[in-house]
Homo-oligomer: A and B are copies of this chain.
Amino acid sequence: MNKSTLYKGCLEPIIMRLLKDNGRMYGYQITQMVKEITKGELQITEGALYPLLHKLEEQGILETELENVGNRIRKYYTLTKAGKKQTSMAMEELKTFMQSLQLIVNPKLA
């Protein structure tokens, strides 16, 4: 089993959490921040990230604005109002999930 298998399914709430904390981020920045925060443990691949961002935008959870930086274009993502609501729920679920995992891994402490 590949170690990266573990966070399959956690990518969406992770992105939402980062956007909630930082307000406005672009894709590449998200990959770098996750790498930094987790000291290289979680590396988001671009093939997973970009399609997911597009999906969330399509669902009205994220909205975008383009910004020119030099000759390049950056695509900034922000949580919509609906997206913020969704994020709160996602965080609750993530919290419950982590507690459940904790209960299994450490039944004595719980």
Contacts and interface: CB of A to CB of B under 8 A. Distances in A.
Interface of A: 1, 3, 5-10, 12-14, 17-18, 21, 34, 37-38, 41-42, 90-91, 93-105, 107
A83 to B, nearest CB: 13
Nearest to A95: B105
B94 A6 contact: yes
How many identical subunits does the complex contain? 2
A107 B1 contact: no
B37 A103 contact: yes
Contacts of A104: 14, 17-18, 34, 37-38, 42
B96 A41 contact: yes
Nearest to A14: B104
A107 B91 CA distance: 14
B1 A6 contact: no
A46 to B, nearest CB: 18
